[in-house]
Amino acid sequence: MRTRPANKWSVADSTALYGINQWGEGNFSISAKGEVNITIPFAGGKVAIPVIDIIQSARDRDHQLPLLLRVENLLDARIAEINETFQQAIQDAEYTGTYSGVFPVKVNQQRTVIEEISHFGADCGHGLEAGSKAELLLCLAKLNETGLLICNGNKDQDFIDLGLWANKLGHRCFFVIESPIELPLIIERSQKLGIRPLLGLRIKVSTKVAGLWTETSGDRSSFGLSTAQLIATVDELRQAGMVDCLQLLHCHLGSQIPDITEIRTAVREASRFYADLAAENIPLKYLDLGGGLAVDYIGNQSLHSHSRNYNLGDYCRCIVETIKETLSPHKIDHPVIITESGRATVAHTSILLFNILNVMRYEPMTLPSSSPENCHPLVEQQYKLYKNATEVNLTGGYTEALTNRDRIRELFKSGDIRLRERALAENLVLAIFNTLSERLDRLEEIPVSLSELKPILADIYYGNFSVFQSLPDTWAIGQMFPIMPIQRLDEFPERNASISDLTCDCDGKLDRFLLAGGESKTLPVHPLNRGEDYILGVFLMGAYQETLGDLHNLFGDTNVINIRINEDGGFDIIEEQSGDTISEVLNMLEYNPISFYKEFRDKIELAVKQKRISVAERQQILTQFSAQLNGQTYFKSR
């Protein structure tokens, strides 16, 4: 339990604790009622919609928690902000080229997301990027008329033919050559179909950037041409009479790059490649700098891998000014700047919402008024320490209690201490730890030697969701997202907790959290109220999570709703999608639901013949089995 502050807890305290004003970037806030709002600016003023109202509207449509909420306004705002900020940087720098944004569909391939990006992005020419045949087909169907289509990744004949036909249809579809083996096939198919391709070359820059995805940059990057391969590919295009097709230079700076200095260095190196190729009369017009624009999940503008030490304006100015400074002295025309910002485009648009089902607390049960007669000396020692826990040295008391606990456990294993004595001893250590923790709350700074005390005592809150399905990056690569309660934020969050999901897997948990002060192993939460849902939101999780999710323990997709907030203060549910049923999940794993049901029915019929159940019980069991087969995979709220 966390010690309640002397003054009354306020919404401002929760705002500071969870850092919502920092990572929320004005899109999320806490109302005077202690509820998280989604805030959208309009010409007539801001409109704030409580998330709890959206959940209720979803429930009225029979969409229970867990729920994935997408807010179309936030997606539109990100596209507009990226394009407008680049345009402002271009104007301020007197840059003579233009900007063309591209969204890499691998970041979020969901239909409603891609359709909204293509629709809203049409006015500013926002395009799409594909890295596989399936993604290329998706892009060809959804791309607006003004946007570029960038084709990255490995390309076979079918992929190349589709891209060539896209150019025939009037799209600007660029094949980015990432390996020397791709060019001969592109030349062959181009000649066969009689369609001139639009080509780009992806180069490997030597600049190595920091962050979780540092291996995507530098010499050992999986994709891109070395300097020698670049020259050889250019020469091969000359020999084929196709050097005029080479109009784009591509360089992937990295992903979630926290340091603007590293971005500037990488852009300068890429611009040098561009300048020297232009000096060889290569008709380049586009410079594609790939991804790299970070999302500040913490909100403290730092070099932390989940933050960034710059804002969007800094990023755009850095790119525009660095290209101009590199090319202008050589009288080279400024290229069209392309960036493939995926994470920064869609992260804010999605929120995972789930309810807490139960809680495990690490608190002592009733303790005896004195130590039992003839108890083991170590148990007696632990009891004395419990009685003096308000006075002993904090570090010394903690160390002694921990040492005694471990020795008692070893004695139990060897048969020298009985079960009831061990139970008492472990109950005592919890009492000691809780007393020491209360004393720790009164200190301005927690000693390093006691840093594990709070996590040891933290509650486990059991959430109605699957980490592996909805937040796979938290398990796979240690990605962290802002997590907080969506209500009761005018109350003091007196508990500390880690979050466990529904899977029976020790990795199915959240035990690293982003708070205003940085990272924490526990999340401040409120005690559960009987008969009342306690709901947590995971924010900024719109990039990668939906497509990467798996079926661990056969938990499928959650319910999904897309909303649009209106200027009149209301909101519309634009699209709704029910989560996977158990039948659908089993079908994905090659179980035929009809045969599956029949097999179980045959077992039940045999039980009737063997007189273990009655015919009425048979019907009751089959009805329940069928209902569950067609029900969803998550816990149903009652």
Confidence grade of residue 224 (pLDDT, cut at 50, 70, 90) = confident
Q: Give residue 209's pLDDT.
A: 78
173 and 269 fall within a common domain: yes
Q: Give residue 216's pLDDT.
A: 59
285 and 140 fall within a common domain: yes
Q: Mean pLDDT over residues 395-410, rounded?
A: 94
Q: What is the pLDDT of residues 77-97, one digit of tens each?
A: 999 999 999 999 999 999 999
Q: Give residue 3's pLDDT.
A: 66
Residue 245 covered by a domain: yes
Could you tell me if 122 and 100 are in contact, meaning their C-beta atoms sit under 8 angstroms apart? Answer: no
Q: Give residue 215's pLDDT.
A: 61
Residue 524 covered by a domain: no
In the chain, % helix, strand, coil (3-state, to 5) comes to 45, 20, 40
Q: Give residue 217's pLDDT.
A: 56
265 and 151 fall within a common domain: yes
Q: What is the pLDDT of residues 283-302, one digit of tens each?
A: 999 999 999 999 999 999 89
Q: Give residue 137's pLDDT.
A: 96
Q: Which of 408, 423, 454 is the last residue of a domain?
A: 454
Residue 21 covered by a domain: yes
The CATH number covering residue 253 comes to 3.20.20.10
If one counts the domains in the chain, the total is 4
CA distance 197 to 241: 12
Residue 509 covered by a domain: no
Ramachandran area for residue 135 (φ above 0: left; ψ -120 to 50: alpha; else beta): alpha
254 and 154 fall within a common domain: yes
113 and 31 fall within a common domain: no
First-to-final CA distance of the chain:
29
416 and 332 fall within a common domain: no
Q: Mean pLDDT over residues 584-609, rounded?
A: 92
Residue 39 covered by a domain: yes
Residue 607 covered by a domain: yes
Residue range(s) defining the domain that contains residue 247: 95-341
pLDDT at 327 over 80: yes
Could you tell me if 356 and 528 are in contact, meaning their C-beta atoms sit under 8 angstroms apart? Answer: yes
Confidence grade of residue 140 (pLDDT, cut at 50, 70, 90) = very high
Q: Mean pLDDT over residues 230-245, rounded?
A: 96
290 and 399 fall within a common domain: no
111 and 180 fall within a common domain: yes
22 and 122 fall within a common domain: no
CA distance 559 to 61: 11
Residue 535 covered by a domain: no
- Tell me what the pLDDT averaged over the chain comes to: 94
Can you spell out the DSSP letters for 125-184?
Answer: T-EEEE-SHHHHHHHHHH--TTSEEEE-S---HHHHHHHHHHHHTT-EEEEEE-STTHHH
Q: What is the pLDDT of residues 411-451, one digit of tens each?
A: 999 999 999 999 999 999 999 999 999 898 888 888 889 88
Q: Is 414 exposed, middle or buried (0-12, 13-18, 19+ CB in 10 A)?
A: exposed
Q: Report the candidate in 86, 127, 79 with the shortest Cα–Cα distance to residue 337.
A: 86
Supply the pTM of this predicted model: 0.94
294 and 393 fall within a common domain: no
Q: Mean pLDDT over residues 555-577, rounded?
A: 96
- DSSP at 225: B
Other residues' Cβ atoms within 10 Å of the Cβ of residue 366: 5
Q: Is the bond into 455 cis (omega within 30 degrees of 0)? A: no
262 and 145 fall within a common domain: yes
CA distance 35 to 29: 8
Q: Mean pLDDT over residues 190-202, rounded?
A: 97
Q: Which of 454, 478, 495 is the last residue of a domain?
A: 454
Residue 526 covered by a domain: no
Give the H/E segment covering residue 525.
Answer: strand 523-525
Q: What is the pLDDT of residues 498-538, one digit of tens each?
A: 999 999 899 999 999 999 868 999 999 999 999 999 999 99
Q: Which of 341, 369, 386 is the last residue of a domain?
A: 341
168 and 298 fall within a common domain: yes
